[in-house]
Structures are given as C-alpha cells and as structure tokens.
Amino acid sequence: MAGQSKGSRKRPWLAALLGTLATGLGHFYLRRWKRGLGWFVAAVAVSAVFVPPEAARALLEGSGGDFGTLAPLLAVGLASVADAYVLARLRQREAHGRAGSATPSDPSTGETATAAAGSDAGTDPTPESSAECPECGRELDPDLDFCPWCTTRLTGGENE
C-alpha cells in the first residue's frame, strides 16, 4: 500500500472495532494475547460481581433491560476498546519512528529526510529487513510460516 509504512499494518480503527465486538478481541488482533485475555477475564469478573443475572439474561434474550445495571460491564468494554486503539497507535508510531531513523536527518532541524519530504511524496520508509511473499509480493508477518494473504507456505529462511 503506497504511502503507508510496512513496519506496522495493524490498523487502530480495526483494533477498536474488533474490541467492540468482543472484549479483548482487539488485543488479540494486535497479538497482545495476555493483555486481551486479561481484559476478557476482567469483563467476566465485573459481570459476575456487579451485573445481576436477570439483567444479563434479559440482554441475551433480546428483551432489552436496564442499561444502568450493565454500566460496569460497558465501562470495562469501552476501556478495553480505548486501550486496544491506543496500543495500535503507539505501535504505528514506533514503526514509523524506526523506519524514519534509518534515513539521514537534517542536523539543523533534527527532522529525518523522509519526514521532511512528507510521507505522500511516493517514498516508502520501509526497512530493508521486511520480507515480502514470493508469490503475491505483500508484506509477511515474521511470526508466521505462511503468507496470510495468499496462503503460500514459506520454506527455509524466506520469512526470517
């Protein structure tokens, strides 16, 4: 994708959307397994302690119910969504910072050449170490031994 750093393709809005669907799911998307599980356990614990069983049952049956009784659970869910979004944003900034630090900087301003030229100038500040799929050419996740885009199995050291 032109104009986007290949350092981190994890999208903050997608992490937030997934976290809205299920507490902790946005963190799983970011591969923050323990943190996502922690948020899920927190939601279950808050639900067990603070939400009356009748309110949860009414919500599951679709008969509505009083949202005031579900406020503690909603608060944990919103905090989880916000946390996933912030984590994804920080991850993107770190990736952009690492990619930008590989380029020479202007000593008078301290700004990298890539940042001075602008990210829309057609330059891709991708580090040379990022691997691409030999079949479809898209960026590969170093933790996987297959391409998540075209499912090509990677053999040997192609993704290392």
Considering the domain architecture, whether residues 29 and 101 belong to the same structural domain is answered as yes
pLDDT of residue 42 exceeding 90, the answer is yes
Considering the domain architecture, whether residues 41 and 95 belong to the same structural domain is answered as yes
3-state SS class at 132: strand
| Cα angle: 82, vertex 85, 87; to 5 degrees | 105
Of 6-15, 46-55, 58-67, 117-126, the one with minimum mean pLDDT is 117-126
Q: Which residues pair with 153 in a beta bridge?
A: 146
**Percent of the residues in the chain that have a pLDDT greater than 90, as a whole number:** 32
Amino acid at 3: G
Q: What is the pLDDT of residue 121?
A: 42
Is the distance from CB of 84 to CB of 19 less than 8 angstroms? yes
Q: pTM of the entire structure?
A: 0.55
Average pLDDT over every residue of 21-41: 93
Q: Indicate whether 117 belongs to any domain.
A: no
pLDDT of residue 25 exceeding 70, the answer is yes
**Distances in Å between the alpha carbon of 54 and those of 22, 41, 66, 76?**
21, 21, 10, 19
Q: Indicate whether 1 belongs to any domain.
A: no
Considering the domain architecture, whether residues 101 and 59 belong to the same structural domain is answered as yes
Considering the domain architecture, whether residues 98 and 158 belong to the same structural domain is answered as no
Considering the domain architecture, whether residues 84 and 142 belong to the same structural domain is answered as no
Average pLDDT over every residue of 138-150: 83
Q: Indicate whether 122 belongs to any domain.
A: no
Q: Tally the domains of the chain.
A: 2
Considering the domain architecture, whether residues 94 and 146 belong to the same structural domain is answered as no
Q: Indicate whether 101 belongs to any domain.
A: yes
Q: Indicate whether 144 belongs to any domain.
A: yes
Considering the domain architecture, whether residues 144 and 101 belong to the same structural domain is answered as no
Q: What is the pLDDT of residue 123?
A: 43
Q: Indicate whether 120 belongs to any domain.
A: no
Max Cα-Cα span within the chain: 65
Q: Indicate whether 4 belongs to any domain.
A: no
Of 63-67, 87-91, 156-160, the one with minimum mean pLDDT is 156-160
pLDDT, tens digit, for every residue of 70-121? Answer: 889 899 999 999 999 999 999 888 877 766 555 444 444 444 444 444 444 4
Considering the domain architecture, whether residues 82 and 29 belong to the same structural domain is answered as yes
Structural domain including 154 reads 130-160
Q: What is the pLDDT of residue 83?
A: 94
Query: Is the model more confident about 120 or about 137?
Result: 137
3-state SS class at 146: strand
d(CA 84, CA 11): 10
Confidence of residue 66 (pLDDT cuts 50, 70, 90): confident
| DSSP 8-state code for residue 150 | T
d(CA 30, CA 103): 27
Q: Indicate whether 2 belongs to any domain.
A: no
pLDDT of residue 127 exceeding 50, the answer is no
Considering the domain architecture, whether residues 135 and 60 belong to the same structural domain is answered as no
Q: What is the pLDDT of residue 35?
A: 94
